[in-house]
Structure 1
Amino acid sequence: MDTIKNAANYVQESIQGAGSTASKEANKNVAKDSDASLGTRAQAAFDSAGDKVDEQTHNRKADVHKEAAKH
């Protein structure tokens, strides 16, 4: 039963990590957009940094669940 739970958690964390990756990339593009206001660009850069932390956290959790599901 724990193996199934760990596998489901792995999938969930992987999906959340992918969502954070997409958000990070979108925010990076806004931060680089010279047509956007300075405030918008600064907020996008800040959000991108937060998304990167979320991405790494979800990916680490996914790896933990993946390893736990193997055992």
Structure 2
Amino acid sequence: METIKNAANYVSESIQGAGATASKEGNKNVAKDSNASLSTRAQAAGDAVSDKFDEQAHNRKADVHNEAAKH
């Protein structure tokens, strides 16, 4: 039963990590857009940094759940 829970948590964290990656990339593109206002670009850059932390956290959790599911 624990293996099933760990596998489900692995999938969930992987999906959340992918979402954070997509958000990060979108924010990076806005931050680089010379047609956007400075405040918009600065906010997008800050959001991209936050998304990067979220991405890494979800990926670490997914790895932990994946390893736990193997045992």
Give TM-score scaled by structure 2 length: 1.00
Instruction: Note if 1:50 corresponds to 2:50.
Output: yes
Aligned-pair Cα RMSD in Å = 0.1
- Per the alignment, residue 10 of structure 1 pairs with 10
CA distance in 2, matches of 1:43, 1:2: 41
- Per the alignment, residue 70 of structure 1 pairs with 70
Q: CA deviation at 1:55?
A: 0.1
Output one character per residue of 1:8-30: Cα deviation in whole Å (capped at 9) or x when no partner: 00000000000000000000000
- Per the alignment, residue 19 of structure 1 pairs with 19
* Counterpart amino acid of residue 5 in structure 2: K
Give TM-score scaled by structure 1 length: 1.00
SS of residue in 2 equivalent to 1:23: helix
Aligned residues: 71
Structure 1 stretches of at least 4 aligned residues deviating more than 3 Å after TM superposition: none
Q: CA deviation at 1:31?
A: 0.0
**Which consecutive residues of structure 1, in runs of 5 or more, have no partner in the other structure?**
none
CA distance in 1, matches of 2:26, 2:47: 10
Percent identity between the aligned chains?
82
**Which consecutive residues of structure 2, in runs of 5 or more, have no partner in the other structure?**
none
CA distance in 2, matches of 1:35, 1:67: 45
